C-alpha cells in the first residue's frame, strides 16, 4: 500500500512537471526552421569581435552541411554602434532574409573600420551595391527597433549572456535536441552527432 501511494505521488509530480517542460522556452526557440532536421542558431552582436571571427566559420559550416543558420541580433549595451547596426540589418531583412544576413556578414568583414559616426556610410555603400535606396529614416515608427528587442528578449529567455552564443539544434523531441557550442573547433563533430541523433544521413 505504501509503495502504491509513493508511486501515485511520483506520477502526480511527473504530470505536474510536464507542462513546465513543454513551456521551456528553449524547446521552441532552439529548433530548426520548418522543414529542416538540423540547424545552427546564433545570437550575435555586430560590434563583437569574437562574433566577427565566428561568422565565417558558421557560414561555411551551414554551406558544407546544407543546413540553415538562424541568426538573432543581440546587441550588447557596452557597444556603441551595435544596436543601430542591428536596426539596419532588420531593414535589409525586410527586403529579404538573405540580404539581411549578407549585410551582417558585410559588417563583420568591415568591423575594425566601423565607428558610430561612419556606420551609416557603410550601410549606404551596402545598399548601393545591392541597387537599393537607403531611406534617411530607416525606422521612422520604431518597428525595426522592436524587432531587435524581440531578438534580445528571445535570447534572454534561453539564458544568453554573451555573444556569440551558438547552438546546434535538431527537431528531435527526445535525447539532446540542442547543444551549445562552447569550443568552435568541435563544431563539425557536434553537427555530425546532432545529425546522427536526428536520423539524418
Q: For residue 25, what pLDDT is reported?
A: 57
Average pLDDT of the residues in 96-100: 97
pTM of the complete model? 0.86
Q: Is pLDDT above 70 for 13?
A: no
* Element at 2 (helix H, strand E): helix 2-22
For every residue of 109-170, DSSP letters joined together read HHGGG--TTTHHHHHHHHHHHTT----SSS-TTSHHHHHHHHHHHHHHHTT--SS-EEEEEE
Q: What is the pLDDT of residues 171-200, one digit of tens each?
A: 987 778 999 999 999 999 999 999 998 888
Quote the pLDDT of residue 73. 98
Mean pLDDT of 63-91: 98
Per-residue pLDDT at 4: 53
**Alpha-carbon gap, residue 166 to 77, rounded angstroms:** 19
**CATH number of this structure's domain 25-198, picked from the four choices 3.20.20.10, 3.40.50.1820, 3.40.30.10, 1.10.10.10:** 3.40.30.10
118: pLDDT strictly greater than 60: yes
Rounded percentage of the chain residues whose pLDDT exceeds 70:
87
Of 52, 42, 34, the C-alpha closest to 171 is 34
If you average pLDDT over every residue of the chain, what do you get? 89
What pLDDT is recorded for position 178?
94
All structural domains of the chain with their residue ranges: 25-198
Q: Assess whether pLDDT exceeds 50 at residue 9.
A: no
Between 23 and 34, the more confident residue is: 34
Instruction: Please tell me the distance from the alpha carbon of residue 192 to that of residue 55, in angstroms, as a whole number.
Output: 19
Per-residue confidence (pLDDT) for residue 115, from 0 to 100: 98
Amino acid at each position: 500500500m505504501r509503495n502504491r501511494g509513493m508511486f501515485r505521488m511520483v506520477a502526480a509530480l511527473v504530470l505536474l512537471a510536464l507542462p513546465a517542460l513543454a513551456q521551456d522556452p528553449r524547446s521552441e526557440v532552439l529548433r530548426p526552421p520548418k522543414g529542416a532536421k538540423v540547424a545552427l542558431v546564433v545570437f550575435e552582436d555586430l560590434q563583437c569581435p569574437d562574433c566577427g571571427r565566428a561568422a565565417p566559420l558558421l557560414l561555411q559550416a551551414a554551406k558544407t552541411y546544407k543546413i540553415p543558420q538562424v541568426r538573432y541580433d543581440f546587441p550588447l549595451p557596452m557597444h556603441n554602434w551595435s544596436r543601430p547596426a542591428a536596426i539596419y540589418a532588420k531593414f535589409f531583412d525586410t527586403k529579404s532574409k538573405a540580404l539581411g544576413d549578407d549585410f551582417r556578414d558585410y559588417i563583420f568583414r568591415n568591423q575594425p573600420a566601423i565607428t558610430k559616426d561612419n556606420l551609416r556610410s557603410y550601410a549606404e555603400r551596402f545598399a548601393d551595391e545591392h541597387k537599393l535606396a537607403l531611406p534617411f529614416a530607416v525606422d521612422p515608427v520604431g518597428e525595426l527597433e522592436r524587432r531587435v528587442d524581440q531578438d534580445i528578449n528571445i535570447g534572454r529567455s534561453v539564458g544568453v549572456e554573451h555573444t556569440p552564443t551558438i547552438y546546434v539544434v535538431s527537431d528531435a523531441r527526445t535525447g539532446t535536441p540542442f547543444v551549445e557550442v562552447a569550443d568552435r573547433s568541435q563544431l563539425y563533430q557536434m553537427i555530425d552527432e546532432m545529425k546522427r541523433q536526428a536520423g539524418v544521413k
